[in-house]
C-alpha cells in the first residue's frame, strides 16, 4: 500500500506549483496589460507552459494515488463511450442548438433534431459529467465553458468532429489491421485505408464536404497544440527582404496567413502549394482582400521536383509525419534541384512535432506527442520522428542536406535545413 505521506507530499507539490502559475500569470498580466483571467488558457509564455506541464503531471499522479489503479482503468476503458456521446452531439449539432445565453428544454432541443428526448438526454448527461454542457435544472440544458468553446470556435468544432467521425472509426480497427499486416504501413496500407477502402487523401477527394471540414480541422488543430509560436517568433524573418516563402503542403494557407498578418513582416509574400484543389480553393475564398497581392495558390504534388527556383525560404509544416521514411526521402529529394538553383544558403524549414528523448519532458507533454504519433500510424501509416530520425532521412535524400539548427522541440518543433554546396 502507498505511504499516505506521499499523498500529502503530492498535495503540497500541487499547491506550490499552483502558486507559481498564479505568480507567473500576474507578471505576464502586468507586462502585457492583459486581464489575469484572459491569460489562463494562454500558451505563449514558455515559463508558464513548463510550470503548467509539471502541474498536470503531478495532478495525474495524485488522482491515481487517490483513486487507485482499478478506478483509473475503469475510467480509461469507458472513454470510447465518451467519444460516442461527443460523436452524437457533433453530428446532430447539439453544440450549435444549445443557446450561448440561457438554457433550452430537453424537449425543445430534441425536437430540433431527429432524435428522441430520451437519447438526447442520455448523451448530454454523460457529457455533463465531463463538464461539457450542464443540466441547470431537471431537463434544462445550458453551455459550460467547454461546450461554449466548441460552439463558438468553428475550426475547433471541425477538428473534434473529424476525430470522432472518420478517425474514430478507423482507430477502432487498429489491432485488426496490425494482425492482418503487422509490418506494412503506408498511406495505402493502414487502419484508415482498411476501414474506408481508400487512402485518407483519396477519401477526402471522394467526399469533398469532409475534405472541406478537414481543412478547417487543420486550422483548429493549430489552435490546440500545434501552435505557430516557434515558427513566428523563434525564426529570423526580418533577415528576408521582399522575400517569397513557399509553403509546401500548406493546405488552405492558414499558417502563412498568420505570418502575413504580423505587422513586423509586411515584406513577405507567400506561395501556397498543395495537391488538394479543394483546400486551395478554400484558401482563396477565405483570404482577406488586403492580403491578395501577397498570396498565390499553386496546385503541386511534392513527390515531383519543386517548381519554384527563386524562393527566399521553403516551409514544409505538418507533412512529413504523414509519410513513411522512404516517402519522406523522396519528398526532401524533390527540394534539391530548386535549392541548387536558389541563392546559396536558402533555408528549408521543417515545422512539426519532434519526439523527445526518454525523460526529457513531462509525461503530460509526451502524451500529446504520442497521440499525434498514433494518429499518423492509424490515418496515413506515417510516424512522428526524433531529431536523429530527421537527420537520417535528410542524409538519405542528399548527403548535402544538413540540419543547421534546431530551434525548438516538442509539440511543434522547428528545424532549419540547408543544402551545403
Please provide the distance, in angstroms rounded to a whole number, between the alpha carbons at the two ends of the chain. 63
pLDDT tens for each residue of 64-85? 999 999 999 999 999 999 999 9
The structural domains of the chain, ordered by start, are 4-76 (no CATH), 79-151 (1.10.10.10), 225-361+382-419 (3.40.50.150)
What is the phi/psi pair of residue 115, to 5°? Answer: -100, 160
Q: What is the pLDDT of residue 158?
A: 96
pLDDT at 174: 96
Catalytic residue (choose from 86, 143, 161, 321) = 321
Is the four-CA dihedral 47, 38, 353, 178 of positive or negative sign? positive
Please return the burial class of 177, using the count of CB atoms within 10 Å of its CB with bins 0-12, 13-18 and 19+: buried
Q: What is the pLDDT of residue 154?
A: 94
Report the pLDDT value the prediction gives residue 187, as an integer from 0 to 100.
Answer: 84
* pTM greater than the 0.75 cutoff: yes
Sheet of 140-142, strands arranged across = 104-105, 140-142, 134-137
pLDDT at residue 1, rounded to an integer: 47
Identify whether 371 is a catalytic site residue. no
> CA-CA distance, 398 to 421, in Å (whole number)?
11
Please report the pLDDT score of residue 410 as a whole number. 61
pLDDT for position 412: 80
The answer to whether 233 and 172 are in contact (CB under 8 A) is no
Question: Alpha-carbon distance 297 to 273, whole Å?
Answer: 6
Fill in the DSSP letter of residue 385. B
User: Can you give the pLDDT of all 421 residues of the chain as single tens digits?
Assistant: 455 559 999 999 999 999 999 999 888 887 776 665 566 665 567 788 889 999 999 999 999 999 999 999 999 999 999 999 999 999 999 999 999 999 999 999 999 999 999 999 999 999 999 999 999 999 999 999 999 999 999 999 999 999 999 999 999 999 999 999 998 888 889 999 999 999 998 999 899 999 989 988 988 887 776 567 778 877 888 777 678 999 999 999 988 998 998 877 788 899 999 998 888 999 999 999 999 999 999 999 999 999 999 999 999 998 999 999 999 999 999 999 999 999 999 999 999 888 988 888 899 989 989 999 999 999 999 999 999 999 999 999 999 999 999 886 667 889 999 999 7
Amino acid at each position: 500500500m502507498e505511504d499516505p505521506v506521499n499523498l500529502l507530499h503530492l498535495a503540497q507539490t500541487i499547491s506550490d506549483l499552483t502558486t507559481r502559475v498564479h505568480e507567473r500569470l500576474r507578471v505576464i498580466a502586468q507586462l502585457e496589460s492583459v486581464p489575469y483571467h484572459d491569460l489562463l488558457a494562454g500558451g505563449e509564455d514558455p515559463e508558464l507552459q513548463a510550470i503548467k506541464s509539471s502541474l498536470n503531471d503531478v495532478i495525474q499522479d495524485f488522482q491515481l494515488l487517490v483513486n487507485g489503479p482499478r478506478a483509473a482503468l475503469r475510467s480509461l476503458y469507458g472513454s470510447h463511450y465518451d467519444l460516442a456521446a461527443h460523436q452524437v452531439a457533433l453530428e446532430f449539432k447539439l453544440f450549435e442548438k444549445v443557446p450561448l445565453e440561457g438554457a433550452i428544454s430537453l424537449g425543445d432541443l430534441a425536437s430540433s433534431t431527429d432524435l428522441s428526448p430520451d437519447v438526447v438526454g442520455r448523451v448530454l448527461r454523460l457529457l455533463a459529467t465531463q463538464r461539457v454542457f450542464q443540466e441547470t435544472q431537471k431537463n434544462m440544458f445550458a453551455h459550460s465553458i467547454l461546450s461554449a468553446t466548441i460552439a463558438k470556435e468553428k475550426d475547433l468544432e471541425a477538428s473534434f468532429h473529424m476525430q470522432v467521425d472518420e478517425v474514430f472509426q478507423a482507430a477502432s480497427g487498429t489491432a485488426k489491421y496490425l494482425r492482418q499486416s503487422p509490418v506494412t504501413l503506408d498511406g495505402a496500407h493502414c487502419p484508415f485505408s482498411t476501414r474506408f477502402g481508400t487512402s485518407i487523401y483519396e477519401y477526402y477527394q471522394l467526399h469533398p464536404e469532409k475534405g472541406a471540414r478537414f481543412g478547417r480541422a487543420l486550422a483548429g488543430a493549430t489552435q490546440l497544440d500545434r501552435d505557430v509560436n516557434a515558427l513566428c517568433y523563434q525564426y529570423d524573418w526580418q533577415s528576408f527582404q521582399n522575400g517569397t516563402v513557399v509553403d509546401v503542403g500548406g493546405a488552405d494557407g492558414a499558417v502563412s496567413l498568420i505570418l502575413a498578418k504580423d505587422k513586423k513582416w509586411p515584406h513577405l509574400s507567400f506561395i501556397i502549394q498543395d495537391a488538394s484543389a479543394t483546400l486551395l480553393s478554400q484558401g482563396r475564398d477565405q483570404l482577406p482582400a488586403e492580403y491578395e497581392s501577397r498570396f498565390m495558390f499553386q496546385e503541386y504534388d511534392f513527390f515531383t521536383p519543386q517548381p519554384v527556383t527563386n524562393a527566399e525560404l521553403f516551409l514544409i509544416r505538418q507533412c512529413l509525419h504523414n509519410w513513411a521514411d522512404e516517402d519522406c526521402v523522396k519528398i526532401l529529394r524533390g527540394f534539391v534541384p530548386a535549392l541548387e538553383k536558389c541563392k546559396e544558403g536558402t533555408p528549408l524549414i521543417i515545422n512539426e512535432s519532434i519526439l523527445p528523448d526518454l525523460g526529457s519532458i513531462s509525461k503530460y507533454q509526451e502524451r500529446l506527442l504520442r497521440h499525434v504519433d498514433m494518429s499518423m500510424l492509424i490515418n496515413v501509416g506515417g510516424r512522428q520522428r526524433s531529431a536523429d530520425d530527421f537527420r537520417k532521412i535528410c542524409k538519405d535524400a542528399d548527403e548535402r542536406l544538413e540540419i543547421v539548427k534546431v530551434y525548438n522541440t516538442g509539440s511543434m518543433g522547428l528545424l532549419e535545413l540547408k543544402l551545403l554546396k
